[in-house]
Every structure is written in structure tokens, then in C-alpha cells.
Structure 1
Amino acid sequence: MDQQLINLVNKLQDVFASIGVSNNIDLPQITVIGSQSSGKSSVLENIVGRDFLPRGTGIVTRRPLVLQLINRPATSKPNGNAEKPEEAMSKVQLNENNPDEWGEFLHLPGQKFHDFHAIRDEIVRDTEKMTGKNAGISPNPINLRIFSPNVLTLTLVDLPGLTKVPVGDQPRDIEKQIRDMLLRFISKPNAIILAVTAANTDLANSDGLKMAREVDPEGTRTIGVLTKVDLMDQGTDVVDILAGRVIPLRLGYVPVVNRGQRDIDQSKSISSALENERKFFENHPSYAGKAQYCGTPWLARKLNIVSHA
């Protein structure tokens, strides 16, 4: 899919969303699924290079978030040479007033958010406007565009994390509600499924992969993302999974290392996290020989390649 077609798809998604027609249109998009504890939000924030998603316990993503990442060149660079987006990812500048990076919501036309914490607040505000402050969910999407020289042009749909047992004020049928919503998105033949799974758990029990196999039994349009690779027991790795010897996927798997909760609580920057991720794979005996195919920059590039195919 070339750049002009991607731009057209983005515009169509905005138009359909604005008139209340979204889930029934089969447009090419990457749908992100996984359990609540899989590290889904951290994967998306690392791809963007910014903290912008709501965090907390229980269901945090309660509406589909249609995230359109749009690469745009930096306005100025001292040596006059523009960096490739995947190279810039490891040098993310966390200046909240960076004129080269901003977000725009479809429901707030003309308003630019250069402060990414304000983007998070607006996601929470608009979610609660639709669902209330309880733990209910809504199929009505939030459409967010992020313009940055540090991203590759992609459209991702972040969906609520899979859960099994309702807690607190969650509806008793919350598991069915979430499953039904996810199936509406991932059942579309043009949807690429990004199934996020923690590597320190049994892959056969992955909620995301199990749901993906319901609609994509041959694994032809599913990409596996393995998080928490750094938390695996000593002496274990995901080499067999990457080689397709466990649950094969035609589009393969990408292992990543995200910030842990302690890192987030201590405000560890994403740029530092990406650098630590790079060092982890380059120095790990199981991954050193294939480090270029591991980590967030490769994941973003792979998604960009798949979405252009």
C-alpha cells in the first residue's frame, strides 16, 4: 500500500467514524490485542516514543483507539541531514513543547496537543464522557492522529485488554463484551492482528494468540509480539518461538523489552528504555546474532512494511 493510499484510508476512517460508521467497514488496519497484563500499552508508547496512554489497574482501554501515526520531516536539523524515523526512535526527545510533534483528535478539530500528557488526559475525559467513570466499555472509537519525525506511518487500533473475571464495578458479562468487540475488529479479512503476549508465560495460554487463531487459524495475518523477554527465567529464551517451532505465524514474532512498572513510577524516559532494550538484545547470548530483528524499532519497521504490502 503506497503512501497516498494510506492517507486515503486514514481519511476514510475519519469520515466513517464521524458519521458513526466504523466497525462494519473493512479498511486495512493493524489491530492490537492482548490480555490486560501483556504490556500492550507499553508496546504502543515505545512505538510512538511518548507517554500518552492512560494507565492504571483493571480495564484501562475502554474504547477502541484508532491511532494514526503520520511521519513528517523535522522542521530543522543543524547539519541539514534528516534521520530515518527508525533511527530517530532511539534518540527520542522528550520536550513537551517540541513543535515537530503533536496529536490531533477527530472530535476536537483544529486543536493541536503538543503536550502528550494532555493527550492522555483527553483520552480519559472523552472515554468517561462515553462510558461514565465505571469500568464499562464502549465500541465507539476515539480517533487520534500523531504527527512526528520519530514515527513510521502506521494505523493501529488499540483494543481493550482481555479479561476473565469482572472486578469492582465491571459488568458481569465484561469478558463477553470485550471478546465480541475484539472479534468485530479482528474478523475483518484486511485486519492485521498484532497479538501481544508476555514471554514469561506459556505461549499456549496466550489470550491474544488464542483469539487470533479463532479468526486466522493459519496465522497468515497475525504478528506475535513477545513482551517481558527480560523477565524470563535464567537459561530460557524465545528462540524456538521466533523460529516458528512452537506456534508458527507467517508474519513471525518480534521480541521487545518494555519499561516495568517501577520504571514507569520512577519516570524513566522512553529514550532510556529503548537504549536499554537495544543493549539487552545485542548483549544476550541467545539474541546477539539476530538483534537487528528484535526490539521496538524493528517492530515499527515490520508493521510499516506489512501495512504497505
Structure 2
Amino acid sequence: MKDTFSRRGFLRTGAAAAALTAVPLSSSAFRATSAKGAKEPIRLGLASYTFRNFSRAQMIGFMKELSISDLNAKDAKDHLPMDPQGESQALADYAAAGIKLHAAGAIYFSKDDDDDIRSKFEYCKRAGIPVIVAGDPAPNVLPRIEKFVKEYDIRLAIHNHGPEDKIWHSPLDVLKAVGHMDARMGCCIDVGHTVRAGTDVVQAIHAAGPRLFNMHMKDLTDFHEKDSQVAVGDGKMPVREIFEALQEIRYPGYVDLEYEVHGDDPMPGVTKSYAYMRGVLAGMK
């Protein structure tokens, strides 16, 4: 696929085009207000896993089309290579495109080993990334990881993966494990996996409070079926209630779209998802 994209090719459906033009795309951050005054902004970002089948250059082109400039980068394709030289080139490309990296992951900590853990913190330190989204750290490894969290002052956000996850089904499982640890040990709430685990996602946000460091947004038509993922707004996810809960806890992080279906042609669903979320946020003013 070419690395350049036309607006006509991008707006593939009339519905998506109408949704996009309904809300200004000038910024990925929106500030909603209420009678009580100004609220924390809800900042929309992108999980690079969404474009796992596309190169970094292609993803940058997509992000420009989407007016999204904040990225949760993963070592998928060439999005953010683990090797220092490849990482340096990726960072230069993102800087040139005006894209900022606010998180990395999911990163997996499969070894209870200082050298392995340090290499992943160094990876994020080189990129100036303040949050590691951790995939599957074993509970017995958390004290060792905590040591590096303190040394590097990089927050760890454990990502729950629903019923299939052997350990971290729900954000509540994460909170039980890290509640007594350093305040920089927390969670990344994946809303889709959370509801499939039978957990109320709005209640989970309130339970996490200051230990919530990242959000992965998606939508499902069936909260019991992993394969029912659709564009945000086409399913049952309580998106407005999620945004309101984030404002109530004064969440300072990003809501990253992680669109995991239609990997070879994600843009129609991605476009529709951002248009819907921007519409919800505009309606909260």
C-alpha cells in the first residue's frame, strides 16, 4: 500500500463522511464543561496496534488524516523498534510529523530478570515515554518491576485482557495486586476486555482513580463475545458515561482507540470511531 492517502479514499462511506464533518477535527483534546465549571479534558489518542498491518510511514499518514497526534506505540511492524538505532529513526519520524508518544505497549515482562526488565525501561526512557502498558507481568515479578518504576520514574499500567487472561481478567484484579505498592504502579483499562470479564467499566474507573494511567477504547455488540467488536458507537459500550467518569476522577491521561478488527482495512471503522467520540465530547460541553 502506498504511503500517501487521498481524502476521497479516506472517506469511504457517506456515513463516515457525514460524521466527520459534523464535528471539528482541529484537535484531539476536548474540554467539556458543566454547571459546576470546567472539567478535565478528555484527550483522544491512538494505540498503534490498530495499524499493526501497516508501516510506520503509513500509520503517520493515517494519523494526519484523522487529526490525531498522540500515540501509544507498540513494537509492531516498525512502529517503535526495540533496538536503539531503529527506535531513534522512529522517534525522528514522529517528531517530524508532530506526533507525541505518551505510552508504549503492550510490553510483556515474561522474565523475572533485572536485565530484561531494565532493557524495557531503557527503551521507554530513550523515547521520553512516561507510561509502560504492561501485557502480562506475573504477580511475583511485580516487586522487581516496582524497583525500576521507582528508579526511572516511569509509570506501569497493567493491561487487563478479559476472561482469557490467566491473571488479569479485570482492572479490579490489577488494583488488588498493586494497591499496596508505589503510586506509579497502576492499570490500563481496556474497556472491551473489562465488560467481557463482567466488570462494570464505569465503576472500575472510579475504583482505579489515581492509579489509572491509560485507557484502551473499543466497542462490542455483545459483552460476552470477543469477536463482536465494532466501530465505537455501533455497539453497547457506555461511551458518554465512561468519559463522564474519567472527568469525575480528573483523569489526566489519554483515551486510546484500539480498533482490533478489519486489520487489513481499519480506516472506515477507525474514522467512524473518532467521529462518534468527538461527537459525544462535543455534546458534553
Structure with greater helix percent: 2
TM over 0.5: no
TM-score (norm 1): 0.35
TM-score (norm 2): 0.37
